Amino acid sequence: MKVNSLQYQHTHYAALGSPWSAKADRIQSATGILLGCFLLAHLHFESSILFGKETFYHVVQFLEGGMFSSTGHGMPIVTKVFSIFIMLVVMLHAAVALRRFPAQLGQWRALRNHMQGIKHKDSHAWFWQLVTGFILFFLAPVHIFTMITNPEIGPHLSAERVYHANAWLLYALLLPAVVVHAMIGLYRVAVKWGLIRHRKGLRKAIKVLIIYLMTLGILSLISYIMIGRSLVLPITPFVP
Ligand code: HEM
């Protein structure tokens, strides 16, 4: 009798979704919002190179806590510690996201049939988030580990990394994947938690944001490559 009641309880919970699943959902949304906002800030700070080497230099000094040091110079240890924090958030985000991956061939087939059968835009958005999430699983840690082990940032130091250490190749793949993933992610969070009534308007805004961030990222990347090409090795860090 006891076994039966336990069995009933088990199937009952399985049908409803366990409390852990609701918690995992909230963790995924919260870490996703944090990472999405971080990306928006990151791409803007990093694109300050478009205003010249000096502007980028001052942005980096400010973000590395220059106002708290006696010399006024930033401290790369700030970048190191912050990068470790972002790595932990990314790991948590990925860990809770993994449970959403279709695990078996049958599930992939069902997803494909579903996508072909209906032309629902949100299902397509979900599919692209799945694909870009898979790509990010491999690419994002490479970049974040580099920032942990080599946290030196500056107009020349970054240009050297991008051009001479070939990080441009990583960034050219990372940029579209992360921009699409983060923007669709923010859209889906807004829809999921009922923050928006007009999905169509939000979808348009997200498309504009994707094009804007891609343009910003590509122009910055070109700028780092051009600076990198003009540098003589071994480079000397830029000082205004
Ligand atoms: C706290 C950790 C991070 C730091 C300190 C950081 C710093 C930087 C810096 C300084 C650059 C410019 C090039 C260079 O110096 O190598 C850059 C480029 C880039 N980062 Fe990060 N980053 C971090 C985390 C992330 C994360 C989590 C993502 C997304 C998954 C990301 C995506 C990118 C992309 C796509 C570029 C190239 C942008 C472009 O094409 O203009 N970064 N990052």
**77 and 151 in contact (C-beta within 8 Å)?**
yes
pLDDT digits (tens, 9 = 90+) for 133-166: 999 999 999 999 999 999 999 999 999 999 999 9
143 in a known ligand binding site: yes
What's the length of the chain?
Answer: 240
Q: Domain containing 75 — which CATH number?
A: 1.20.1300.10
42 in a known ligand binding site: yes
pLDDT digits (tens, 9 = 90+) for 2-15: 444 444 444 444 44
Alpha-carbon gap, residue 224 to 155, rounded angstroms: 8
Alpha-carbon gap, residue 38 to 92, rounded angstroms: 15
With a Cβ cut-off of 6 Å, ligand 1 is lined by 39, 42, 46, 79, 82-83, 86, 136, 140, 143-144, 147, 153, 158, 161-162, 167, 171, 174-175, 178, 217, 220-221, 224
Average pLDDT for residues 47-76, to the nearest whole number? Answer: 94
In this predicted structure, what is the pLDDT of residue 107?
Answer: 83
pLDDT digits (tens, 9 = 90+) for 85-123: 999 999 999 999 988 877 777 887 888 787 777 767 787
Query: What atom of ligand 1 comes closest to residue 220's alpha carbon?
Result: 41
In this predicted structure, what is the pLDDT of residue 136?
Answer: 98
Q: Does residue 8 belong to any structural domain of this protein?
A: no
Please state, rounded to an integer, the average pLDDT across all residues of the chain.
90
Alpha-carbon gap, residue 215 to 51, rounded angstroms: 15
What is the domain extent for residue 52? 24-99+120-230
Joined together, the tokens standing for residue 201 give 């308007």
CA of 155 to the centre of ligand 1 (A): 14
Q: Does residue 15 belong to any structural domain of this protein?
A: no
Give the number of domains in the chain.
Answer: 1
Tell the burial category of 222 from Cβ atoms under 10 Å away from its Cβ (0-12, 13-18, 19+): middle
In this predicted structure, what is the pLDDT of residue 17?
Answer: 59
181 in a known ligand binding site: yes
Best residue for ligand 1 mutational test, from 134, 136, 147 (most atoms within 8 Å of Cβ): 147
Joined together, the tokens standing for residue 75 give 């401290």
Q: Does residue 65 belong to any structural domain of this protein?
A: yes
